Amino acid sequence: MNEILKVEQKYNKLRHPHYERRAEHIKNLPNFWSTTLLNHHQISSIINPVEEEVLKHLEILEIEEFEDIKSGYVIRLTFGDNEYFENDKIEKEINLAGEKPCTATTPIKWKEGKCFIKNDDENNPNETMSFFEWLIRNVDPTLDDIAEVIKDDIWPNPLQYFLCPALDATNDTYEEFLDDEEQLEEVDDEGGSEEGSEAEGGSNKVASEDDVDEEEEN
């Protein structure tokens, strides 16, 4: 099991340059993250009209896994100037270590009269939480489907949810973005292959440094 974890950690580091390049391309695509979230059936179902407007100011969404990968991760949202709150970043930390997994979120500094989140005593337990209610509240991470969807489904390949008929497939930014997504999939495929080999008894070695360098040059 430790060998598999080492392989996962290695390939997690290999993905970082791809994610950084992807972030640069995303900056040139207006409303990328808000469109991506709204096009995901599970996430869009908890976004209300006010939140839809707020998310238009979402410039960056990223996942930062803890160093050992298995003990947790951070969902980080970076916002541009907006009329609702002062924060430029809101982080939700999912901690899976210990006997009682927990979450913690950056307090939101609301601008005067702009808080659109209900107080805890106003919540109906039978109502589904909205996106920002989920974001600021401590939820049992073992039961948090939203965090898992963002980390495991949206973050690895947001392009599949961003794409729509209105997007011009000849756009240079789109083409560069697609190239990076394909390279990232190659890294994931190789990582999965290595994990399988390690699990079967370690008959295959982790890619050599030359292989890593060659892959990054591609």
Sole residue written with tokens 């869009």: 44
- CATH number, position 178: 3.30.1120.90
Q: Which residue reads 């390690």 in tokens?
A: 198
pTM: 0.72
In DSSP terms, which residues pair with 110 in a beta bridge? Answer: 85
Residue with tokens 């901690």: 95
pLDDT, tens digit, for every residue of 93-134?
999 988 889 999 999 999 999 999 976 544 555 578 999 999
pLDDT tens for 161-209 read 999 654 444 455 555 555 655 655 555 555 544 444 444 444 443 344 4
**Is 135's pLDDT higher than 60?**
yes
Average pLDDT over residues 140-149: 93
Residues 38-94 pLDDT 10s: 999 999 999 999 999 999 999 999 999 988 867 899 999 999 999 999 999 999 999
pLDDT of residue 197: 47
Domain hosting 73: range is 2-217
**Average pLDDT, stretch 19-27?**
90
Average pLDDT over residues 7-14: 69
d(CA 76, CA 33): 12
Tally helices (H) and strands (E) across the chain. 9, 4
Q: Are 104 and 126 in contact (CB under 8 A)?
A: no
Q: What is the mean pLDDT of the chain?
A: 79
Domain count, the chain: 1
